Amino acid sequence: MHRRHRKLLGATAMLVFVIFYALVAMTLAQAKPLQDAPGEVQAIVYAILGLAWVLPLMPLIAWMERGRRDR
């Protein structure tokens, strides 16, 4: 598969994943136990939710970049 096709497929997959992840993160952020938690706990959870989407996408980004080079 050419690098250009790999990047198109990867970008589409990343967009779908980020939209789904954002919906899940918003649902978790609005959960009653989190809303009743102290401010420090909320800040930690929000920081984790804000950065956690990167970890599942790292292998996808690596896959998008490997392979033969287009000339």
Q: Where are the domains of the chain?
A: 3-65
Q: What is the pLDDT of residues 14-70, one digit of tens each?
A: 999 999 999 999 999 899 998 999 999 999 999 999 999 999 999 999 999 886 655
**pLDDT for res 3:** 84
pTM above 0.75, yes or no: yes
- Quick one: tokens of 45? 């959870």
**pLDDT for res 61:** 92
pLDDT at 71 over 70: no
Taking the C-alpha atoms of residue 4 and residue 22, their distance in angstroms, rounded to an integer, is: 27
Taking the C-alpha atoms of residue 32 and residue 35, their distance in angstroms, rounded to an integer, is: 5
